[in-house]
């Protein structure tokens, strides 16, 4: 039985210096998937070596893909082509990763063999019907456990038909799963999204030489093509940078530079929201790496104010809301979020768990069905249960910068799924954080 990890964070301090956070998780997952399915050898640099991405890599190794690494963010993949995967001998374990499970379902729907996708306790509670049902309409056969949850049993040898799917809710994972299944389908597969979501799959498919047509809110691929190996340079993850962007914004005297951060316009909602709150964030040396825009971000302390978060920014910051709630708690006035019901089906119910944690620190937080209302104020010290959710654990660690007493965050083991080395990097930046093993 593995031991539990808690964080003990002393109050106060400021963040300073230059940091490079680990590689982008979304792009790392996709680089492994497309590199494995391409013809030829793909070289990846900057790969996030977190547990989620290693689960994805392990799944492809179990299906016969040879790879060297990862070491220091470098990975070499010897692609087997779209139809070169071998039947796995056992269920494919996606660990804690909803991204991996949903995207893999799209890929596996087009294979000539049966497969089973499993995950950890948290992932096993997450809804998969929004992927399995539209894939079913394409001709896939996917059996789920009760309530549309994992494990997922994907039947091979099905003839997939292209279709035009209008998504009821904005989700990059669902869009990506359908486009990846579309590589194996007859004719054209199109997905129309109700609001913009991250477009890493579309960009990377093009990087691997596969044509993706984009017309307004609709993305289309035609089956029958092939992926050609290429080099992928993974930028630093803006979702990981977000903890330090908020920390430096709320802790007086802070000035921090975050290097080589991905600033894909479908991911910069966190920058837009923080700036609307009054944050002082500057983009330095904007450039391109592997088809993705990157820049160094300089952030200085600023007095934040509460805002009503524009609904159009919600899908562009969906993973960053836990730490944005900390910014709201440290701001003056009221912050209102609506249209974010997807937060209730992440690694935890992030609205409920964050509201509960903020209240235990003395912050006024009121849940709504699709969001939260937070009144900024003083934060006391206290003990927080992260419910095994990596982003909640890191968010409350950052909250200690403006708390009146120490904050203990329980159950932080899953931080390694998305941000290996978080505690060490946070300490280097100026957070007084101790890791305790139970």
Residue located via tokens 């825009």:
293
The catalytically annotated residue of 237, 319, 411, 416 is 319
Distance CA 215, CA 192 (A): 9
d(CA 158, CA 111): 8
Burial grade of 1 (CB within 10 A; 0-12, 13-18, 19 or more): exposed
d(CA 438, CA 435): 10
CB atoms within 10 A of CB 157: 9
Token reading at 80: 């087997």
Give the pair of three-digit tokens for residue 273: 């929201």
Active site residue 280: no
What is the Cα–Cα distance from 190 to 182, expressed in whole angstroms?
8
Buried b or exposed e, range 342-369, using 16+ CB within 10 angstroms: bbbebbbbbbebbbbbbebbebebebee
CA–CA distances in Å: residue 311 to residues 49, 196, 238, 335, 341: 33, 11, 20, 13, 12
The rounded distance, in Å, linking the Cα atoms of 279 and 246 is 9
What are the angstrom distances between the C-alpha of 33 and each of 20, 59, 199, 236, 349? 24, 10, 15, 19, 28
93, 124 contact by CB (below 8 A): no
What positions carry a catalytic annotation?
319
């Amino acid at each position: 039985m593995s031991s539990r990890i808690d964080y003990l964070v002393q109050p106060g301090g400021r963040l300073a210096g230059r940091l490079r956070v680990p590689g982008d998780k979304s792009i790392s997952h996709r680089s492994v998937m497309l590199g494995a399915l391409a013809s030829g050898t793909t070289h990846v640099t900057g790969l996030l070596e977190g547990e989620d991405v290693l689960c994805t890599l392990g799944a492809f190794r179990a299906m016969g893909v040879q790879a060297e690494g990862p070491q220091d963010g470098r990975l070499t993949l010897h692609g087997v082509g779209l139809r070169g995967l071998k039947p796995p001998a056992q269920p494919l374990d996606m660990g804690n990763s909803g991204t991996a499970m949903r995207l893999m379902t799209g890929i596996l729907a087009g294979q000539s063999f049966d497969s089973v996708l499993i995950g950890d306790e948290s992932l096993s509670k997450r809804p998969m019907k929004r992927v399995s049902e539209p894939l079913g309409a394409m001709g896939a056969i996917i059996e789920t456990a009760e309530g549309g949850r994992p494990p997922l049993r994907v039947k091979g040898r099905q003839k997939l038909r292209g279709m035009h799917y209008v998504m009821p809710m904005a989700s990059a994972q669902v869009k990506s799963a359908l486009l990846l299944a579309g590589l194996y389908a007859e004719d054209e597969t199109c997905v129309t999204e109700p609001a913009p979501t991250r477009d890493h799959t579309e960009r990377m498919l093009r990087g691997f030489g596969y044509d993706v047509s984009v017309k307004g809110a609709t993305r289309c691929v035609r089956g029958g093509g092939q992926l050609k190996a290429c080099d992928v340079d993974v930028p630093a993850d803006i979702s990981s940078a977000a903890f330090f962007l908020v920390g430096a914004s709320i802790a007086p005297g802070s000035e921090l530079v975050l290097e080589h951060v991905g600033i894909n316009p479908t991911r910069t909602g966190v920058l837009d929201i923080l700036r609307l709150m009054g944050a002082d964030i500057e983009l330095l040396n904007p450039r391109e790496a592997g088809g993705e825009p990157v820049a160094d971000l300089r952030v200085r302390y600023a007095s934040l104010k509460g805002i009503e978060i524009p609904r159009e920014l919600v899908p562009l910051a969906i993973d960053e809301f836990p730490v944005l709630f900390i910014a709201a708690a440290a701001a003056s006035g009221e912050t209102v979020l609506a249209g974010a019901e997807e937060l209730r089906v992440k690694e935890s119910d992030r609205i409920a768990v964050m509201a509960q944690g903020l209240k235990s620190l003395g912050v006024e937080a009121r849940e709504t069905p699709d969001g939260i209302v937070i009144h900024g104020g003083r934060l006391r010290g206290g003990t927080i249960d992260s419910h095994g959710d990596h982003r909640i654990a890191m968010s409350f660690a950052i909250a200690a910068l403006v708390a009146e007493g120490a904050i203990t965050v329980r159950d932080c083991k899953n931080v390694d799924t998305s941000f290996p080395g978080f505690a060490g990097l946070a300490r280097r930046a100026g957070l007084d954080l101790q890791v305790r093993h139970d």
